[in-house]
Structure 1
Amino acid sequence: MNAKLRVATYTYEHTEALFDGRVTIEGADATFETDPLVSNIFQRTVERRYDVAEFGLTYFLRTFDLDDSPFLALPIFPNRNFRHSSVFVNAAAGIERPQDLAGATIGEFALYGHDPGVWIKGIFADEYGLTPDRSRWVIGGTDHPIPAFDWIPQPVPDGVDVRHAADGETLAAMLESGEIDALVSVDVPRSLLQGSTRIARLFPDYETVERDYYRRTGIFPQMHIVAVPRDIALRGDLMKSVYRAFCEAKEIAQRKYRDGASKQHMAVVTPWFSRHFEENRALLGEDWWPYGVAANRKAIDTFLRYHHEQGLSKRLLTSEDIFAPALLDT
């Protein structure tokens, strides 16, 4: 009898084939759910409403400090992004480089140590000597007020000044007014997209900085993994089927771009996309969005180190601690 699986993930182009049935999970009767707010999927995952679910990497790791950690991960990374582009500053604050954030008040989206925040704090510590305890932190929503996420552990290390924004406050408005000096956020402030001159990026030419970061480190930062309750994660053949299905769906999306290169991607509405694709392919390789432990070990182990150094994990976890055993050799 096939296993019944309730699967939840955002509808990225590399998961679309799972939703429309082009790819199925062998040995499973799977139903797929999504949500416009991926954090809603995270909360329902914590509430154990899914059998297989996309989960923010920091949200997942925080559960390892519970008395009975409920999940293991599959080495599937639905969401990843370079993070130098996630840092915004008040244009009048005189902040021109990461070292200038020492003594500054910095807003952070959603919780202290959201996935982009863990990455960029770790990068700042490694490459610029700026550790989180040298700044003050205000947590909240970028353009919409959000309450504290009370459904996930929110550790704050000793010596770090962290508070939540007041009711009704948004971090983007606080940044424009100068109430905070900088912002780390997965969301770009709407006012910046609309042409505000009061907000700027810390790295104006962030693409060049991020490409250099990849050339030097080989790291393409992951934001999310796929989490599975431990009892299901130990069903090795089933986990291999889930993994293969996500890989196949991703390959369909990637193949579309590889095949489209011969026609200069005439199905894509973005001008000069083919040139951009060529640059990415030359830098990132044929599989520019890899799944599996081997291709992602350095990046994941780096995030695990950052998570521990920033006081968000009580112990330094390893890839062997967090991934389903049957997929450690992927």
Structure 2
Amino acid sequence: MAKNIQITIVAGDMDRMAAIKDGRVQVEGCDVTFIPMEPEEVFFRAFRYAEFDCCELSFSSHMRVTSQGKADYVGIPAFVSRVFRHSGFYIRTDRGIEKPEDLRGKLVGTPEYQMTAPVWMRGILDDQYGIKSNEIRWRSGGQEEAGRDERTPFEAPEGLDLEPIPEDRTLVEMFEAGELDALTTAREPSSFTLRKPNIGRLFPDFRTVEKQYYRDTGIFPIMHLMGLRKDLAEKHPWLPGSLYK
């Protein structure tokens, strides 16, 4: 009988991974060590350094590097994060923004332009409301901590107004100061949580809007998938299928 291989799986500490973490679900042919880690750190270390055997990956970043022939991981279609994103549009309520179309020409912050959640949000603006990405001025940077950069090299498409914010500033700081008109982000900004003045959601009743979006499109947006490092997939051709099961 073949001996099990040792494999480490790194992902967010969430209900979708609980059965792997506590051993209720076994990976055939493998002895698994599960390491819980915040997704942002997983993504940075995976895309920059390919540190992990198997890990949670940003769907949009994985598609980008795969399309460029630079992927260190093979994608496994186990989608451990799927989230509707209408809740992630935050606005200054003193800028005359009452509907999505009012974002045209506005200055909008985003943690990373290539980040999966904002990619979906830009798709929603385009598909549902006819707002092209080049009709908005984009600014990227750390949401709550200064100095965040794109996790993989990224060049803005021609005609897109995208610039990084100063390295010593945060999106939330600039949003509260009125230097940004809106934010598109996966995580609720502290300025909204703390109910700072003139901060609100573009879609206050976002659950109703998201339900209608699903009825209209049948789409339940994919955020993250699992990835297996290519050298392991090549060495053990059975391993991707075993992990998927």
* TM-score normalised by structure 2 residue count: 0.92
Tell me, in whole angstroms, the C-alpha distance in 2 between the residues paired with 1:68 and 1:173.
35
Residue 182 of structure 2 aligns with an amino acid whose one-letter code is A
- Contact 1:108/1:138 (8 A) holds in 2: yes
Give the conservation status (yes or no) of the 8 Å contact 1:62–1:153. Answer: no
Which residue of structure 1 aligns with residue 15 of structure 2?
13
Q: How does 1:1-330 map to 2 (within 5 A)?
A: 1-35=3-37, 37-46=38-47, 47-109=49-111, 111-149=112-150, 151-233=151-233, 235-244=236-245
Structure number with the higher strand fraction is 2
Question: What CA distance in whole angstroms lies between the structure 1 residues aligned with 2:70 and 2:135?
Answer: 34
Q: Which has the larger share of helix?
A: 1
- The alpha-carbon deviation at position 236 of structure 1 amounts to 4.9
Shift of 1:68: 4.3
Per-residue deviation at 1:240? Answer: 2.4
Write the distance in 2 (CA, Å) between the matches of 1:68 and 1:86: 30
Asked if the contact 1:83–1:116 (Cα under 8 Å) also holds between the matched residues in 2, the reply is yes
Deviation string, structure 1 residues 213-247 (Cα, Å, up to 9, x no partner): 01111111111111112343354532222122xxx
- Say which SS state the counterpart of residue 166 (structure 1) adopts: coil
Q: Cα–Cα, structure 1 residues 228 and 108, in superposed 2: closer, same or farther, change >3 Å? A: same
Give the match's secondary structure for 2:238: helix
Misfit runs of 4+, over 4 Å: none
Distance in 2 (alpha carbons) for counterparts of 1:8 and 1:55: 10
* One-letter amino acid of the counterpart of residue 100, structure 1: D
Q: Distance in 1 between matches of 2:50 and 2:87?
A: 33
Q: CA deviation at 1:146?
A: 3.2
Contact 2:86/2:210 (CA < 8 Å) preserved in 1? Answer: yes
Distance 2:155 2:167 in 1: 21
Report the count of equivalent residues. 241
Which residue identity does 2:195 align to in structure 1? G
Residues 228, 240 of structure 2: 8 Å contact kept: no
Write out per-residue CA displacement over residues 25-58 of structure 1, whole angstroms, 9 at most, x where no aligned residue.
11112211122x3111112222122121101011
- Structure 1 spans left out of the alignment, 5+ residues: 245-330
The TM-score, its normalising length taken from structure 1, stands at 0.69
Name stretches of at least 5 consecutive residues in structure 2 with no aligned partner: none
TM-aligned CA distance change 1:220 to 1:69, over 3 Å: same
State the Cα RMSD in Å.
Answer: 1.6
Q: Please say if residues 79 and 226 of structure 2, whose CA atoms lie closer than 8 Å, have aligned partners that are also in contact.
A: yes
2:142·2:171 contact (CA, 8 Å) conserved in 1? yes
| 1:242–1:160 Cα change, 3 Å | same
